[in-house]
Copies of this chain bind each other. A is one copy, B any other.
């Protein structure tokens, strides 16, 4: 059975150096036990509000709404912004599939745009070219801890009257000029899957400064239920609630976010120094961007057989990840379109083990494995 499958059992032989491993060495265990001992394990409980406040604090957003994963953290704001059939949403072709699926799920059409060569992220000029009378929103995606050019994107959005939802699933801790990603647009979404900078196991958060949108989202994620009358549902809603246990883990993680980020930045720095002489190109960042270095990612030299390289690294105990296939190549979104930069990044990109507890020795082993496989 493939580990990528939904129910993904623990691997029989866990690779010695995984791509990710959460660091649960803070108060995670105590807080989780507190949930179980208090019997508050559902989406009722004190940790939920505390975790939301912690993420509001970290991001500087006025509202933070916890949800059960980073995918529904995209669907909820799209739905509550009123995006649906007949609308178009511009999204990079090079992204994780959830960015695109959640648009399609509303009934709107995802319109793909090209990426920039340096930072692999949404190209604002191409966004502007793809605007039509049906365009309702833009979804920039801050991949691998990077940050899109939000000044340019917000300028376009304002000129054309478009909504902006930032997919910051991979970018907790990333700032542009000191402002946290996810707070430039009308809403921003984070993921707390087990491989993220802050994890809750599965989990997500939507942030916004818009009071009305926040209120609509809060009602909608809780089955559309009235705030004053139980079992009376005023709008079509979903069950997108996070549990108290997930929030407890997230709170403990967020309490240590500065240390986690420092550890991840150290990892990125060591990789860059160690591989400086090699023919690989790291994802870059625009001026002013402080990347959270979620997954350290690079382009292999043109012509490299990435599958072979990954298999070789795996054989010496180093797990890696290819970057994402471009969405316009997937069966359900296939189109006669070309995005040369996105396609090139997708074909050559590789993500290295990037969890905070990586030791100098492990980092050296990863670099050695990569160097050997590149020969």
- A interface vs B, CB < 8 Å? 1-10, 21-22, 24, 28-29, 32-33, 36-46, 48-49, 52, 65-66, 68-72, 96-98, 101, 104-105, 107, 193-195, 199-202, 218-219, 221-228, 230-246, 249, 321-325, 330-332
Nearest Cβ on chain B to A239's Cβ, whole angstroms: 4
Given A68-B68, A243-B246, also A43-B7 (CB < 8 A): yes
Number of copies of this chain in the oligomer?
2
| Partner among B29, B39, B330 whose Cβ is within 8 Å of the Cβ of A36 | B29
List chain B residues, Cβ under 8 A from A235. Answer: 331-332
Q: Is the CB of B29 within 8 A of A236?
A: no
List chain B residues, Cβ under 8 A from A21. Answer: 39
Nearest Cβ on chain B to A183's Cβ, whole angstroms: 20
List chain B residues, Cβ under 8 A from A5. Answer: 218, 222, 225, 227
Give the interface SS of chain A, mostly helix, strand, loop or mixed: loop
Given A68-B68, A98-B239, A321-B230, also A222-B44 (CB < 8 A): no
**How many Å lie between the Cα of A273 and that of B105 in the bound state?**
50
Q: Is the CB of A71 within 8 A of B33?
A: no
| Partner among B1, B32, B69 whose Cβ is within 8 Å of the Cβ of A68 | B69
Q: Is the CB of A32 within 8 A of B28?
A: no
User: 21 A-B contacts, Cβ less than 8 Å apart?
Assistant: A2-B228, A6-B43, A6-B225, A8-B45, A10-B46, A22-B41, A24-B39, A24-B41, A32-B245, A40-B194, A43-B202, A68-B68, A68-B202, A96-B231, A97-B224, A97-B233, A101-B223, A101-B237, A231-B321, A233-B332, A234-B331
List chain B residues, Cβ under 8 A from A221. Answer: 6
